[in-house]
Structure 1
Amino acid sequence: MPALIVVAVAVLDLLGGSGMTWLPLLAVGPALAAVTSRPRTVLRIGLLAVVLAAVLAARGRASGGEEAIVLSALVAVTLASSLASALRVRREQVLAAVRSVAEAAQHALLKPVPAVVGEFQAAVRYSAAEAEARIGGDLYALLSTPHGVRAIVGDVRGKGLPAVGTAALVLGVFREAAYDEPDLLEVVGRIERSLSRNLGSDDFVTAVVVGYPRDGHMEVVNCGHAPPLLVHDGMVAPVEPVDPVPPLGLSGLTGETPGLQVLPFEDGDQLLLYTDGVTEARNHSREFYPLTEGMARHVSDEPSRTVAALHDELQAHVGGRLHDDAALLLLRKPVTADSRPAAEPHAPVTSPVPTGPQRTAEALTSVRADAPA
């Protein structure tokens, strides 16, 4: 394109027969080449522009002073453009190195979730608000442990490297405690104690920790986080915490301890964990993304397809650019041949229920609020 521009300017000058009028536009060629090409290519295009300018100036019988000014300007623009090209290439190399480090950090912190974990189908989608950063303050992990499948989804206060460091701390403690501790509340307690030693007084982490210790029972511990969405019998409802507690890192200020909610979780049921970057995403009309309704529209027997549809709809809702990190983690208990009725095959969810806590309250079987944090 820069070479074509130089040739086009030369043709205009030839056809116009106006002497020096068009020649200064030859500088557009090397200037544009600095944006797209390497320094050597910029120099070649600049040399082409200088040669054509000299030939056209001589043909138009321009004065020696005018010709010298145009040629000097083209040489100066070419040299400056070459320097700009060299700096751009260097920045691109540095950015590529930073991206590779970010990708390595992402794989270390937010490890890929397989399609099957324990007895669950699973899928995850994560989008950082800063596209070049690749990682941010949201966190998730899904593990198959001796105490059943366990998962965490959380959101660190703040952004940038401090948030990434806190997310790494939470995930490291969770992955260790999830294997060691048979009690899910003790897993949360170990994360709390670690954060209390390492976080500042104004820092905290909202999180939902879930576990599946035995068939038919899902344990949920919510520490100031957005309530998960439970899909059961063709209905979608939020799992509202019975006794809300502050986020992780702040329990020392209030003395409150989290409670353990136990939900019936049967074959075909699904649980969606997410961060507030999903529910607080706004469109151009400042309307929040309706996640519950979106879940009811897109839920299927394949978590990966459901999560992909939710993510695509979220991106369309915000016009393609999120203003906060967003994470989605979906668990589904597959329907086995023994639990599927022969005459009534399992049907996909097609409509939501009211978004209040009525369905969740009916699903709760027990709450342990007096267990140690």
Structure 2
Amino acid sequence: MDPRPPPPRTRRHGEPRLALLAVPFALIAVVTLVDVLAPPEVHLGPFLVAAPALTASFAGPRTTGIVGAVAVLAQVVVAVSRTTLTDLNHTFQIIALILISAFVTFFAHLREVHEAQLTQLRSVAEAAQQVVLRPLRERMGPLRVASVYLAAEAEALIGGDLYAAARTAHGTRLLIGDVRGKGLDAVGEAAVVLGAFRAAAHLDAGLPELVARLDAAVAADRDEEDGTPGRPEGEGFTTAAVVDVPDRGTTVEVVSCGHPPPLLLRGDRVVALEVAHPAPPLGLAELVDSGYTAQSFAFEPGDVLLLYTDGVIEARDASGAFYPLQDRAAAARPGAAGPDALLRRLCADLLRHSPGGRLGDDAAMVAVERLAPRAGPDPEETTRAGSCGSRPGRGARQDPNETT
């Protein structure tokens, strides 16, 4: 449900369009006919080399080789029609055409091998994305949840932004974060944070203890990676907001680790949940004499909690102005039936705000709505993909007790 148009399907070089394939054969026919009918001093045979060269730009090695063989046969027909095969001029033209056809066929083979490797890498990346950033469930206890991940690059599948959720005996815990840096290093650090959250979120411990475990995991990973080539020491950290929503009651607990504050949407009002004692980013607690303090806020039925990464609020328009998320969330809330519809509107609005619909950084959002209490057991929780992101969650399956 990405508002951006999907990328066009990549066509393998071995799958040429018939209309394109007609071009080199038509070129061979025209050059052959004109060369046979041309005066003796005019030689158009060298133009036949364009047919296999053109074919190699959109077809595989087999098709390129066939077109090259047809071009050589056409050159033979020209030689026989005009003089003889032993004519020195035509002999050199035939030899040159055979060599060039062989070269372009070989290059078409290399391109096909390279494309197969890229296809395999994309498949591996999609599988890795399903493991690292799993889709959130639509229902988690008394909560209705929606999520979105917008990649800065349309072909990208994994980045440094992350989110996850876990059910506990008393409620639901959510995590959203942003790893410093980009590329594979950021993906690895995101996997560390998510793995630590999945391992510890179910434990019967308070929110500060959970965040302390996350910090220890990031710090340990940073210490292991310090000193590796190309990576400065002590630079691995992750901003994060960790939220605990009890099933009973009308409150929410928040621990902020250098992350933008969650937004609480109530009616037509939007309030930033600024904690009084923010903590340093994960991985830096040992460098700052500060503990973790969970702060409670009201979270009543009908309210929506919006978690996001800085890629959202740092998106700029053509004039350089940042995206006003708080104002746009207030405008998008009326008429939005649930968190999924809210994220659809915000997602589309964010892309309209960004020049050409391209973001400067990955962006993630999670919307959580507390539903009114209902009699009887909660309906079965279902697995759902991200609401409008370029990923994740195509065909993913998830254990009901597993986190995402």
Give the alignment partner of residue 171 of structure 1, picking from 188, 194, 216.
Answer: 194
Q: Is the CA contact (8 Å cut-off) linking 2:261 and 2:272 kept in structure 1? A: yes
In structure 1, C-alpha distance between the alignment counterparts of 2:156 and 2:32, rounded to whole Å: 48
Give the alignment partner of residue 7 of structure 1, picking from 7, 10, 26.
Answer: 26
- Aligned residue pairs total 338
Greater mean alpha carbon deviation, residues 215-224 or residues 313-322: 313-322
SS of 2:164's equivalent?
strand
- The residue aligned with 1:54 is 76
In structure 2, C-alpha distance between the alignment counterparts of 1:321 and 1:248, rounded to whole Å: 29
Matches within 5 A, 1:122-137: 122-137=145-160
Give the alignment partner of residue 309 of structure 2, picking from 275, 300, 303.
Answer: 275
- The residue aligned with 2:12 is none
In structure 2, C-alpha distance between the alignment counterparts of 1:310 and 1:68, rounded to whole Å: 68
| CA deviation string 1:149-189 (max 9, x = no partner) | 11001011112222222111111111222111331111101
Distance change in 2, residues 1:157/1:45 (3 Å):
same
In structure 1, C-alpha distance between the alignment counterparts of 2:151 and 2:310, rounded to whole Å: 13
Give the alignment partner of residue 308 of structure 1, picking from 327, 341, 344.
Answer: 344
In structure 2, C-alpha distance between the alignment counterparts of 1:310 and 1:21, rounded to whole Å: 64
Distance change in 2, residues 1:44/1:208 (3 Å):
same
Pair 1:120-2:143 in alignment: yes
Pair 1:109-2:128 in alignment: no
Distance change in 2, residues 1:325/1:60 (3 Å):
farther
Distance change in 2, residues 1:60/1:315 (3 Å):
farther
Distance change in 2, residues 1:12/1:26 (3 Å):
closer
In structure 2, C-alpha distance between the alignment counterparts of 1:73 and 1:168, rounded to whole Å: 55
AA paired with 1:46? G
The root-mean-square deviation of aligned C-alpha atoms, in Å, is: 2.6
Larger RCO (CA under 8 A, 6+ residues apart)? 2
Q: CA deviation at 1:23?
A: 4.0
Q: Is the CA contact (8 Å cut-off) linking 2:147 and 2:340 kept in structure 1? A: yes
In structure 1, C-alpha distance between the alignment counterparts of 2:207 and 2:26, rounded to whole Å: 72
Q: CA deviation at 1:137?
A: 1.2
Distance change in 2, residues 1:69/1:298 (3 Å):
farther
SS of 1:35's equivalent?
coil
Matches within 5 A, 1:187-336: 187-199=210-222, 200=226, 201-213=234-246, 214-299=248-333, 300-316=336-352, 317-335=354-372
Instruction: Calculate the TM-score normalised by the size of structure 1.
Output: 0.81
| CA deviation string 1:60-109 (max 9, x = no partner) | 66994443444333323321221122112212222222222212211112
Greater mean alpha carbon deviation, residues 112-121 or residues 293-302: 293-302
In structure 1, C-alpha distance between the alignment counterparts of 2:342 and 2:45, rounded to whole Å: 59
AA paired with 2:185? P
In structure 1, C-alpha distance between the alignment counterparts of 2:79 and 2:312, rounded to whole Å: 62
Distance change in 2, residues 1:45/1:119 (3 Å):
same
Distance change in 2, residues 1:289/1:51 (3 Å):
farther
Give the alignment partner of residue 89 of structure 1, picking from 91, 109, 112.
Answer: 112
SS of 2:202's equivalent?
helix
Matches within 5 A, 1:333-348: 333-335=370-372
Q: Is the CA contact (8 Å cut-off) linking 1:210 and 1:218 kept in structure 2? A: yes
Q: CA deviation at 1:207?
A: 0.4
Distance change in 2, residues 1:27/1:3 (3 Å):
farther
Q: Is the CA contact (8 Å cut-off) linking 2:32 and 2:74 kept in structure 1? A: no
In structure 2, C-alpha distance between the alignment counterparts of 1:76 and 1:92, rounded to whole Å: 25
Percent same amino acid among aligned pairs? 41
Q: CA deviation at 1:221?
A: 0.9
SS of 2:106's equivalent?
helix
Matches within 5 A, 1:59-78: 59=81, 64-78=87-101
SS of 1:36's equivalent?
coil
In structure 1, C-alpha distance between the alignment counterparts of 2:92 and 2:358, rounded to whole Å: 47
Give the alignment partner of residue 183 of structure 1, picking from 177, 183, 206.
Answer: 206
Q: Is the CA contact (8 Å cut-off) linking 2:175 and 2:242 kept in structure 1? A: yes
AA paired with 1:278? V
In structure 1, C-alpha distance between the alignment counterparts of 2:181 and 2:299, rounded to whole Å: 34
Greater mean alpha carbon deviation, residues 277-286 or residues 225-234: 277-286
SS of 2:201's equivalent?
helix
In structure 2, C-alpha distance between the alignment counterparts of 1:319 and 1:337, rounded to whole Å: 45
Q: CA deviation at 1:203?
A: 1.2
Greater mean alpha carbon deviation, residues 123-132 or residues 175-184: 123-132
Q: Is the CA contact (8 Å cut-off) linking 2:318 and 2:355 kept in structure 1? A: yes
Q: Is the CA contact (8 Å cut-off) linking 1:2 and 1:45 kept in structure 2? A: no
In structure 2, C-alpha distance between the alignment counterparts of 1:314 and 1:80, rounded to whole Å: 48
SS of 1:163's equivalent?
helix
Greater mean alpha carbon deviation, residues 102-111 or residues 131-140: 131-140
Matches within 5 A, 1:148-167: 148-167=171-190
Distance change in 2, residues 1:180/1:92 (3 Å):
same
Q: CA deviation at 1:283?
A: 3.7
